Each structure stands twice: as structure tokens, then as C-alpha cells.
Amino acid sequence: MDSVYRMAMHLARNPDAAADLVQETYLKAFRSEAGFELREQGVRPWLFKILHNNFYTRVQKSKREPTLGDEVIAQASGGVLGEVDSPPPAWDLEHLDWEQVDDRLKHAIDELPEHYRVVLLLWAVEGLKYREIAEVLGVALGTVMSRLYRARSLLAENLTDLAAEHGMAMD
């Protein structure tokens, strides 16, 4: 559940919206549990796919809703309105504390375009394989590989100072 909530937070960028997304994801998963075929990758990619679909359904729905005056004012003032089979990094994801990650890295990740950020987080933080990410997002395997490459390249460009502080050369 922590992984699903973490990804919901990265998508929605709002704790209340993320909690709603997680609740909706699990509700849909329990409702369709009988039709789920357990594949070798397990339940996590399936839950991420449900989460991803829920989020983008909400985004599309919100685009059709009329904009309220308060929301326009909040946007103008800078307010946030709720906004291949190669293995992933070998991190102990169970004990990863996102709050302890360097703020410059978090900011660089947050600044990535959403389609790059989601692929990067599913791979690096959630530990999904390329094929699982492709299935979750409903895109081709080559698209996942391309987006991950581009996300990593953009991060490398933006984090040269941080890398130098930690004695890592960025070529």
C-alpha cells in the first residue's frame, strides 16, 4: 500500500487527492479481484495500472468541469490545486525513506515532465521491470526505454553539482 500511495503522491501532488486515488485503486482492485489472473510479475504492476488509469480518468474529467473563480485566483497566485526486463536498481525499497533523499534530487525529479517522471519512479523507486512499466502505462516497451533514458539524462544534466559533492563524475 505504501508503494501505491507514494506513486499516487507523485502523480497527484496532493495528500488528499493521493489518498482518494489509493482508496479508489484498492476498491477497484477488490471489485475485479475474481477476474485477475496472477501472472509471474504479481499484483503490484496490476495495482499501479489501476492507479494510473484512475489518475488519468480524473485528469480528463477535470478538464471537462467548469473552472471556479477561486481556482483561477489560486492558479494565478501560484497555489497548488491538487495537482525490457533489465532489473531495476537494487535498493532496499521497503526501507527507502523519501524524506531523507536530498532536496535537490527530489526537486530535479519533480521538475521532470510527467511522462518521464512516472517511468523513472516506477523503475527506480517501485522496482518494476520495463515490461511491467509498459503494461502499467499502456505504452510500448521501446517508449518506456526511451522515456527512462531521457529522464536519466535530464537528471544527470540537472544534478552535476550534487554528483560532484558526492565524488561522482558525470560524463
Residue 74 grid coordinates:
489560486
Model pLDDT, residue 68: 39
CATH number at residue 135: 1.10.10.10
Counted domains in the chain: 2
In a shared domain, residues 79 and 121: no
Burial (CB count within 10 angstroms: exposed 0-12, middle 13-18, buried 19+), residue 120 = buried
In a shared domain, residues 79 and 91: no
Domain stops at, among 83, 102, 126? 83
In a shared domain, residues 63 and 91: no
Range of the domain at 146: 85-171
Angle between helical axes of 44-64 and 2-12 (0-180°, round to 10): 30
DSSP secondary structure letter of residue 41: T
Model pLDDT, residue 36: 64
In a shared domain, residues 38 and 69: yes
Name the nearest CA neighbour of 108 among 121, 123, 126, 96: 121
Do residues 119 and 52 make contact, with C-beta atoms less than 8 angstroms apart?
Answer: no
Neighbouring C-beta atoms of residue 47, cutoff 10 Å: 20
Place of cell 525513506: 97
> Burial letters for 122-132: b for 16+ Cβ neighbours within 10 Å, e otherwise?
bbbbbbbbbeb
> Burial letters for 9-40: b for 16+ Cβ neighbours within 10 Å, e otherwise?
bbbbebeebbebbbebbeeebeeeeeeeeeee
Query: In a structure prediction context, what are the per-residue pLDDT tens digits for the chain, which is 171 residues long?
Result: 788 898 888 888 888 888 889 998 898 888 887 666 655 567 888 888 899 888 888 877 766 654 433 443 344 334 433 325 555 554 554 555 656 666 777 888 888 999 999 999 898 888 888 999 999 999 998 899 999 999 988 888 887 776 666 666 555
CATH number at residue 52: 1.10.1740.10
Neighbouring C-beta atoms of residue 45, cutoff 10 Å: 20
Model pLDDT, residue 87: 53
Domain stops at, among 35, 56, 83? 83
Model pLDDT, residue 106: 80
In a shared domain, residues 70 and 90: no
Model pLDDT, residue 116: 93
Place of cell 488509469: 53
In a shared domain, residues 67 and 2: yes
Q: Tell me the pLDDT tens digit for each residue of 87-112.
A: 555 455 455 565 666 677 788 888 89
In a shared domain, residues 137 and 160: yes
Domain stops at, among 83, 107, 141? 83
Judge if pTM exceeds 0.75.
no
In a shared domain, residues 101 and 138: yes
In a shared domain, residues 96 and 65: no
In a shared domain, residues 154 and 168: yes
Model pLDDT, residue 163: 62
Residue 20 grid coordinates:
482518494
In a shared domain, residues 70 and 89: no
In a shared domain, residues 73 and 46: yes
